[in-house]
């Protein structure tokens, strides 16, 4: 080979070295053997080949010379060390132990959730739809712990719904921070990150059962399967993603509520129910059924308050009073929009802390003296600035004002949940129907409220309770005057003094040695 060509051989080695460093760094970051990594490996081979072509004599000398003997020994040693490191790394990676050193085991799964994961006999996967803006640390930590407990039967992946909108749409995800659990062809959507929520979803998926929600029809109610803005199609889609089946129910033609009903929903009727329908609902609830009523103000529907058989039944059997008023809330825009100001400690609303719910054209829902077997909870209250306006003419004229003694003073109750302890029946009444329509479902916490109501009346909100953790209260106690003095002495005088003494001592010793 021409000596002039041999001077280019080092450049081949440099090229191979740079490509090798890039390949190692790229693999550490990406953890995948993709096209860019393959190109880098090709560049390494190309660099080595160029170095050999430009200076083959040097390679021959290295292979047969004295230096080759020592180099080969060093090479064998390096390969052995690298092999040991790779094997140890593989074993640790496949069997990575973890220890929870927190005092209250805050990083350990609840035993109930761990047992549910270990009992899985088929793969369960989770899809976490989080944008870059939405915090995902808590969800990722919990999902990581679930992977370890799942023994290979649980897996998860994070998906950015903005980067992959088609996949989010196929999963019927409408809210950032949604987690979808999937088992076979069934799925459960969650918008709250907690062990209890995850456990309930797993139990529902591994114990599939018929959960049918019937929406009453025949009185101008909201249509759960329609396509206009005044429908509940998004409500319906979310229920389907949680493994509910939505069907319509006409009690005018069908004399009784089907036995397979998990709940019956009456959403914004524009005409009064017939007496036969009320009797069918009463019979259904006496057997432990569940009823949800989304009621529009009488001023909106035009139903005669005194002739409303549904209102009379709710008052007589459940002590639930539908107000003949319209809520005026100065905080709303316009004031006809009632805004939730506080929630009760109830399974329906306890997860809504930090979320606003809004109710266009709502009326009050309160309770009177309860029968012995009925217990009720006011779920939602407006602010004390709102009131229940009974003078509808003043609203139409655009100048409503609170009238002492005639109007209901705020805070005004907007929703109530009742339970019959004797039969197990559950009833939820909300003084508004369009809070869950397609225009309002994704607004603030409206959709969560609607779904939580269905979960509660269908008795799906808490299949297994997780034992509460004992929380350890930690208080940072600042040091007293003596402690502060010792810190000052040590950091400002003692440590710098030791450094100075050490430096001076070293200087003197060197000076003596000349």
Integer Cα distance of 491 and 473 in angstroms: 30
Dihedral sign computed on CA atoms, order 198, 200, 201, 203: positive
Return the DSSP state at 433: S
The closest alpha carbon to 205, from 234, 182, 174, belongs to 182
Task: Give the mean model confidence (pLDDT) for residues 460-465.
Answer: 58
Task: Give the mean model confidence (pLDDT) for residues 155-166.
Answer: 92
Of the two residues 83 and 215, the one the predictor is more confident about is: 215
Q: Are 362 and 413 in contact (CB under 8 A)?
A: no
User: What was the pLDDT predicted at 327?
Assistant: 94
Main-chain phi, psi angles of 213, to 5 degrees: -105, 120
pLDDT one-digit tens code per residue, 259-309: 899 999 999 999 999 999 999 999 999 999 999 999 999 999 999 999 999
Of the two residues 248 and 37, the one the predictor is more confident about is: 248
SS3 assignment, position 337 = strand
Q: pLDDT-derived band of residue 97, with 50, 70 and 90 as boundaries?
A: low
Q: Are 356 and 340 in contact (CB under 8 A)?
A: yes
Kindly state the greatest CA–CA separation across the chain: 115
Most confident region among 13-22, 183-192, 328-337 by mean pLDDT? 328-337
User: Residue 156 corresponds to which tokens in the numbers above?
Assistant: 């998860």
CATH number given to 211-457: 3.40.50.880
Q: Are 231 and 438 in contact (CB under 8 A)?
A: yes
> How many beta carbons lie within 10 A of that of residue 378, not counting itself?
19
Ranges of each domain in the chain: 3-94, 111-190, 211-457
User: What was the pLDDT predicted at 337?
Assistant: 93
User: Residue 346 corresponds to which tokens in the numbers above?
Assistant: 């109830």
Integer Cα distance of 120 and 104 in angstroms: 27
Integer Cα distance of 401 and 407 in angstroms: 9
CATH number given to 111-190: 3.40.30.10
Q: Residue ranges of the alpha helices (H) in 128-242?
A: 137-150, 165-170, 195-206, 233-241
Integer Cα distance of 22 and 55 in angstroms: 25
Q: How far is CA 455 from CA 417, 451, 501, in A?
A: 13, 6, 73
Rounded to the nearest 5 percent, the helix, strand and coil shares of the chain are: 40, 20, 40
pLDDT one-digit tens code per residue, 48-80: 877 777 777 766 666 666 555 555 556 556 655
Whole-model pTM above 0.75? Answer: no
Does position 441 have pLDDT exceeding 80, yes or no? yes
Beta-ladder partners of 419: 375, 426
Q: pLDDT-derived band of residue 244, with 50, 70 and 90 as boundaries?
A: confident
pLDDT one-digit tens code per residue, 204-230: 888 777 789 999 999 999 988 876 667
């Amino acid at each position: 080979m021409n000596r002039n060509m041999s001077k280019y051989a080092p450049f081949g080695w440099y090229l191979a070295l740079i490509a090798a460093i890039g390949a190692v760094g790229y693999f550490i970051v990406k953890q995948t053997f993709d096209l860019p990594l393959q190109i880098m490996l090709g560049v390494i081979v190309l660099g080595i080949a160029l170095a050999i072509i430009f200076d083959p004599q040097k390679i021959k000398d290295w292979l047969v010379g004295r230096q080759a003997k020592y180099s080969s020994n060093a090479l064998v040693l390096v390969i052995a060390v690298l092999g040991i490191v790779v094997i140890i790394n593989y074993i640790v990676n496949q069997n990575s132990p973890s220890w929870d050193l927190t005092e209250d085991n805050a990083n350990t799964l609840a035993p109930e959730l761990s047992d549910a994961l270990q009992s899985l006999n088929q793969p369960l996967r989770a899809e976490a739809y989080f944008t870059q803006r939405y915090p995902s640390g808590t969800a990722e930590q919990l999902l990581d712990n679930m992977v370890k407990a799942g023994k290979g039967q649980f897996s998860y992946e994070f998906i950015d719904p903005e980067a992959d909108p088609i996949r989010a749409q196929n999963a019927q995800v409408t809210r950032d921070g949604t987690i979808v659990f999937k088992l076979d062809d069934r799925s459960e959507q969650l918008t709250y990150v907690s062990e209890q929520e995850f456990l309930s979803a797993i139990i529902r998926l591994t114990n599939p059962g018929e959960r049918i929600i019937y929406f009453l029809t025949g009185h101008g109610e909201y249509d759960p399967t329609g396509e206009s803005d005044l429908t509940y199609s998004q409500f319906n889609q979310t229920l389907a993603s949680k493994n509910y089946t939505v069907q319509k129910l006409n009690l005018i033609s069908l004399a009784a509520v089907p036995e397979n009903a998990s709940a019956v929903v009456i959403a914004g009727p524009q005409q009064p129910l017939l007496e036969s329908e009320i009797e069918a609902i009463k019979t259904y609830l006496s057997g432990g059924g569940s009823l949800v009523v989304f009621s529009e103000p009488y001023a909106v529907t035009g139903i005669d308050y005194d002739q409303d058989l549904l209102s009379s039944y709710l008052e007589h059997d459940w002590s639930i009073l539908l107000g003949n008023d319209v809520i005026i809330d100065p905080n709303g825009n316009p004031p006809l929009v009632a805004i939730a100001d506080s929630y009760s400690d109830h399974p329906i609303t306890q997860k809504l802390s930090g979320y606003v719910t809004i109710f266009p054209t709502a009326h009050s829902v309160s309770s009177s003296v309860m029968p012995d077997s009925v217990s009720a909870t006011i779920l939602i209250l407006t602010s004390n600035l709102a009131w229940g306006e009974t003078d509808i003419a003043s609203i139409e004229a655009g100048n409503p004002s609170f009238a002492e003694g005639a109007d209901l003073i705020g805070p005004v109750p907007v929703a109530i949940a009742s339970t019959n302890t004797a039969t197990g029946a559950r009833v939820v009444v909300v003084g508004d129907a369009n809070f869950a329509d397609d225009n309002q479902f994704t607004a603030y916490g409206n959709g969560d409220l609607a779904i939580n109501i269905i979960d509660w009346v269908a008795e799906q909100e808490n299949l297994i309770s997780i034992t509460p953790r004992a929380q350890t209260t930690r208080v940072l106690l600042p040091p007293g005057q003596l402690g502060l003095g010792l810190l000052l002495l040590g950091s400002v005088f003692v440590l710098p003094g030791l450094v100075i003494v050490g430096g001076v001592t070293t200087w003197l010793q060197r000076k003596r040695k000349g």
